[in-house]
Amino acid sequence: MSRNDERPVTAVLGPTNTGKTHLAVERLCGHSSGMIGFPLRLLAREVYDRVVKIKGKNQVALITGEEKIVPKDACWFLCTAESMPLARDLAFVAIDEAQLGADRERGHVFTDRILRARGREETMILGSEALRPMLKALVPGIDILNRPRFSTLSYAGAKKISRLPKRSAIVAFSAEEVYAVAEMLRRLRGGAAVVMGALSPRTRNAQVAMFQAGEVDYLVATDAIGMGLNMDVAHVAFASLNKFDGQRTRRLTVAEMAQIAGRAGRHQRDGTFGALVAEGPGAFTPEEVLAIEEHRFPKLDHLFWREGEPDFSSVDDLIASLEVRPQARELRAAPKALDLLVLKRLAEEGWVRDRARSPAMVARLWAACGVPDFRKVGLDPHGRFVAKVFGYLSEGQGYIPHTWFAEEIARLDNVAGDVETLAGRIAAARSWAYIANRADWLADPALWAARAGAVEERLSDALHLSLTQRFVDKRTTMLLRQIGANTRDLPVTIGPQGEVMVEDHAIGHLHGFTFTVAPDARATDRRLLLAAADRRLAEERGRRGSALADAEDAALALLAEENGHPALAWDGLIVATLGRGPSLARPKIALDRALDCLDAALRERIKARLTLWLDRQLAKQVPALVALDATTRDPAAGSALRAIAAALVDHGGLLPRIDHQVAVDGLDQPARKRLRQIGVTIGALDLFDPRLMKPAAARWRRALVAARHGSKIVAAPADGATVLARTAPGAHLSQGYRAIALQAVRVDLVERIARAAHDARAGRKPFVPDPALAISIGVHAATLERLMAGLGFKIARAEDATPRWVWRGRAPVRVAPPPRDNAFAALAELDLRHG
């Protein structure tokens, strides 16, 4: 870990749009020679083009992994951080976005440049203010300057894609998400430019030029735009706040959010940022908004490091030097990057060790391992590719055969295919461009670099064309500009079946409050009119919302289908669902998400209307549950009655008596009378409301139970069923049936049998119950025998075969003892007679 601290170093720290990079370019051009290392190939290319205009093409060099332009008289070098030629003696050296030293994947490169890259006369480190403690600890004597942002960056709230202002950049974190957002913008706003780090500079520049020229008003990008790419963006919208960092999907840090959001605004012009959603994981928290607006971020407490000058004495020495742990406490050993993993994989091959015996060949092996995995194929496939490259580099004259190179380049030289296919070919071409820019890997590197560059250019042009064709509808853009604020003047009609027509073009269907684009609406001459329908759809949705808020009772209904969630419907359209509320008799109403398109005041009116209807229906269909729920909140009811009422409500009006025998026995006569007035029968085995056995009431009860538990509605017994097989679905007390022997008998009929038995007995004399009632219900003999025993009867001995029963009285109530681990149980065992 070498440091070169005797020469003065200046750090320029601050948020985005502070002119840090502009200052570095000015200082570069003010010296006789110099170099700047950037985090992105795209950014290096952008600054290269600027410096060429100042110094001339013959004196400016561009060095990246896949592109190398080095005139013989070059004095000023623009590079990616990985490609900086540190051995050159240059007057000025700068490293941009140095806070990337904390990045798990590339951090060790930036940390090495912070520690070792030095200019002869001036060294400048550019980055975030969060880097300050690391620089003070690692670079003694460093002079740190802070630069304020030129313009204000403020939070503009959440905006749907259809409501984003012009000159917006929408940031996503996967190619799939970028394409989805761009497709939506094409449909709603005529299209968008696309910028991703995987694009070639030529494709990226063409897309940005289209945005800068105003051919499209929107830009969809990955977080690549956060690294200093200058574009005329007024607002940055985040499609997501989570990204896959190579190991896991995680939420962006506040510093990462600010780096991207800071692309909004330029120089003295203010910018705004926001998200596409107002709630959930994709929304900003108030703390994040405040930190971004005030540019306050946690300070970095470590940087990742790996030996920048490894030992090439042998393969083992190389691996050992790359795995050396840093000495400074501010540094952490870099996670094993792909190049080191490939090296260790190849080191297991005997032929690799046989060929890598000299320091020069070990260095050559390490250089081959450094070929990036542009195709993102993973360790094993990429490792095999590197092995093949090293195989050629370590035999014969040490050159990659031009035949292999030519065949692979020719295979990629095909401009047919969709966006994904072309992007894949460009990624593969970047690997060959990287190889061609290694001066000693090919017999004629200049020839093959030009060949690879030409193929990449053709593919880039084809990709730009494909992106434009896929995500830009120029006719839509032109139309929207022509009609401007007069979108409302276009004839938009909504037919009786919900069909939406714009200028006689069917563009979709409005079902309730949900608009569905027609399958063939992707045709250019139809899709371009979607934006014109927005106002009309809003008006129609508002009209429908008002109609729902004023709906008659007859137009509203409960949906309680088997295996479905309980919902409320308006003329057959689901408009709300029932969920867990304060009690089973007071469920919570949640409006369907399709109604989110309505304004808040109208949604509140709708919710109030549905609540009123629901209250009326509950009072009509399950009056006992409503009355019992009111009783639980009546202080005059007494504790015993409130306890029974609460238990009945929790169990949906059906309660096994034995589980609450103590509370039932504690009911006085007024309490029992009040229960009877409510409609509750205190039966021999159960407490229940017989009205809940009726089909309509049972349907409401099942819906309320499902809402209470957040579950689907269970299957209902057949209408009129009195006895079920015990294994039948719903054959349990929660559905109004008591399981007895091999049958389940409806609780009101169990009570009828119990009363008939008590009416037939005379004291404790043996008697024969009338079997006609049980037979008419469908109760088997074994079921009746088990039921009689449960009711407190026993079989008396008889001389004939006719079973006779004797009343033996109710068994004593068994109260469960307190748990053994209860503190009061332990206290009860203490001997308190002494002491």
3-state secondary structure 321-350: HHCCCCCCCCEEECCCCHHHHHHHHHCCCH
CA angle 233, 152, 172 (to 5 degrees): 40
Q: Could you tell me which of 209, 150, 160, 156 has the C-alpha nearest to residue 184? A: 160
- Stretch 136-149: mean pLDDT, rounded? 92
310, 6 Cβ separation under 8 angstroms: no
Domain-embedded: residue 558: no
Residue ending a domain, among 693, 708, 735, is 735
Yes or no: say if 679 and 691 are a contact pair by the CB < 8 Å rule: yes
Residue 133 lies inside a defined structural domain of this protein: yes
Residue 740 DSSP SS3: strand
Both 109 and 238 in a single domain?
no
Whole-number pLDDT of residue 734? 67
Please, are residues 506 and 498 in contact by the beta-carbon 8 Å criterion?
no
Q: Are residues 111 and 208 in the same domain?
A: no
Beta strand 122-127 with 9-13 is parallel
Same-domain pairing of 467 and 611: no
649 and 571 assigned to the same domain: yes
Residue 170 and residue 136 share a domain: no
What are the tens digits of pLDDT across the range 565-605? Answer: 899 999 989 999 999 999 999 999 999 999 998 999 999 99
Average pLDDT over residues 213-220: 88
Amino acid 502: pLDDT:
67
Asked whether residue 384 carries a pLDDT value surpassing 90, the answer given is yes
Residues 108-137 have pLDDT tens digits of 999 999 999 999 999 999 999 999 999 999
320: pLDDT strictly greater than 80? yes
Cα separation, 5 vs 703, in Å, equals 75
State how far the Cα of 334 lies from the Cα of 39, in Å rounded to an integer.
Answer: 17
Same domain, 408 and 268: no
Domain range for 334: 311-471
Domain closes at, from 438, 454, 471: 471
The tokens describing 387, both together, are 């092995």
Q: Name which residue leads in pLDDT, 276 or 478.
A: 276
3-state secondary structure (DSSP) of residue 680: coil
Q: ∠ at Cα 212 (207, 213), nearest 5°? A: 100
Are 286 and 166 contained in the same domain? yes
**424 inside domain:** yes
Mean pLDDT, range 538-558, rounded to an integer: 91
Percentage, residues of the chain above pLDDT 70: 88
For residue 813, is pLDDT > 70? no
Q: Could you read off the pLDDT of 395-424 as tens digits, one per residue? A: 989 999 999 999 999 999 999 988 889 988
Of 702, 720, 696, 722, the closest CA to residue 653 belongs to: 702
Q: One-letter amino acid identity for 266?
A: R
Hey, which residues does 569 pair with through a beta bridge? 557, 574
Show the 3-state SS of 387-411: HHHHHHHCCCCCCCCHHHHHHHHHH
By three-state DSSP, how is residue 64 classified? coil
- Which residues are registered as beta bridge partners of 570? 556, 573
Q: Are residues 420 and 531 in the same domain?
A: no
pLDDT attached to residue 604: 95
| Averaged confidence pLDDT in the chain | 85
Q: For residue range 422-447, what is the model confidence (pLDDT) as tens digits?
A: 988 998 998 999 999 888 999 998 89
pLDDT of residue 822: 46
Establish if 305 belongs to a structural domain. Answer: no
Which of 231, 226, 229, 259 is CA-nearest to residue 167?
231
pLDDT digits (tens, 9 = 90+) for 179-201: 889 888 887 777 899 988 777 77
Per the DSSP assignment, residues forming a β-bridge with 124 are 10, 94
- 71: phi then psi, degrees, rounded to nearest 5: -60, 155
* Contact partners, residue 93, CB within 8 Å, separation at least 6: 34, 35, 36, 37, 117, 118, 119, 122, 123, 124
Residue 557 lies in a domain: no
- pLDDT surpassing 90 at residue 56: yes
At residue 726, the pLDDT reads 67
Q: How confident is the model over 58-73, as a mean pLDDT? A: 92
For residue 77, the surrounding DSSP H or E stretch is strand 76-80
Residues 527 and 593 in one domain: no
Range in 217-231, 324-338, 525-539 the model is least confident about? 525-539
| Nearest CA-CA partner of 239 in 298, 296, 295, 183 | 183
Residue 155 host element (H or E): strand 153-155
* Type and span of the H or E element at 644: helix 639-650
pLDDT digits (tens, 9 = 90+) for 682-716: 888 889 998 988 888 888 998 999 999 888 888 77
Examine residue 235 and state whether it is found in any structural domain, yes or no: yes
Given this model, what pLDDT does residue 728 score? Answer: 52
Q: Let me know whether 605 and 507 are in one domain.
A: no
Question: How many whole angstroms separate alpha carbon 96 and alpha carbon 85?
Answer: 15
CA dihedral of residues 268, 274, 276, 279 (deg, nearest 10)? -170
Which position has the token pair 């998200």? 275
Q: Report the pLDDT value the prediction gives residue 725, as an integer from 0 to 100.
A: 75
Supply the pLDDT for residue 411: 94
Nearest to 412 by CA among 349, 457, 365: 457
Where helices occur in 741-835 by DSSP H, the ranges are 747-760, 771-777, 781-790, 823-828
**What pLDDT band is residue 244 in, cutting at 50, 70 and 90?**
confident
Tell which phi-psi region holds residue 710, choosing left (phi > 0), alpha (psi between -120 and 50) or beta.
Answer: left
pLDDT on residue 539: 84
- Among candidate residues 146, 173, 205, the one where a domain is terminated: 146
pLDDT at 462 over 70: yes
Beta bridge partners of 127: 13
Query: Per the domain annotation, does 203 fall within a domain?
Result: yes
Q: Is the pTM of this model over 0.85?
A: no
Residue among 440, 329, 430 at smallest CA distance from 373? 430
* Confidence category of residue 753, pLDDT binned at 50, 70, 90: confident
Given CA atoms 808, 809, 810, 812 in this order, what sign does their dihedral have? Answer: negative
Q: Say how far apart CA 203 and CA 216 lie, in whole Å.
A: 16
The Cα 615–Cα 225 span in angstroms is 54
Instruction: Classify burial at 828, counting beta carbons within 10 Å of its beta carbon; exposed 0-12, middle 13-18, buried 19 or more.
Output: exposed
Q: Alpha carbon of 202 to those of 199, 436, 460, 471: distances in Å?
A: 8, 18, 6, 18
The set of residues, in sequence order, having a beta carbon less than 8 Å from that of 565 and lying 6+ positions away, is 577, 578, 706, 712, 713
- 173 and 285 both lie in a single domain: yes
Residue-wise pLDDT tens digits, 765-782: 777 777 777 777 777 777
Q: CB-based contacts of 119: which residues, under 8 Å, 6+ apart?
A: 7, 31, 34, 35, 90, 91, 92, 93, 94
| Percent helix, percent strand, percent coil in the chain, to nearest 5 | 45, 15, 35
Say if 562 falls within a structural domain.
no
Give the β-pairing of 242-244 and 303-305. Answer: unpaired
Closest CA to 299 of 412, 137, 421: 137
- Residue reference for tokens 């985005």: 16
Helix (H, G, I), strand (E, B) or coil at 49: helix
What is the per-residue pLDDT for 170?
93
For the chain, the domain total comes to 6
Q: For residue 357, what is the DSSP state?
A: -
Lowest mean pLDDT among 302-306, 310-314, 519-523, 550-554: 519-523
Same domain, 172 and 41: no
- Say which residue, 780 or 166, is predicted with more confidence: 166
What is the pLDDT, as a whole number, of residue 740? 81
Q: Residue 614: its pLDDT value, please?
A: 94
